[in-house]
Amino acid sequence: MAMPMLGERFPELEVQTTHGPMSLPKDLQGKWTVLFSHPADFTPVCTTEFVSFQKHKADFDALGCQLIGMSVDQVFSHIKWVEWIKEKLDVEITFPIIAGNDTIAEQLGMLHPAKGTNTVRAVFIIDPEGVIRTILYYPQEIGRNIPEIVRAVNALQTSDNEGVATPANWPENELIQNHVIIPPATDEKSAKERLQQYECFDWWFCHKAR
* Residues recognised as catalytic: 46
Phi, psi dihedral angles at 121 (to 5 degrees) = -85, 85
Instruction: Yes or no: say if 63 and 156 are a contact pair by the CB < 8 Å rule.
Output: no
Amino acid at 132: I
For the chain, the maximum distance between any two Cα atoms, rounded to a whole number of angstroms, is 64
Query: What residues pair up with 108 in beta bridges, in sequence order?
Result: none
Amino acid at 50: F
Distance (Å, rounded) from C-alpha 60 to C-alpha 53?
9
Instruction: Yes or no: say if 145 and 151 are a contact pair by the CB < 8 Å rule.
Output: no
Instruction: Yes or no: say if 42 and 16 are a contact pair by the CB < 8 Å rule.
Output: no
Which helix (DSSP H) or strand (DSSP E) does residue 71 occupy?
strand 65-71
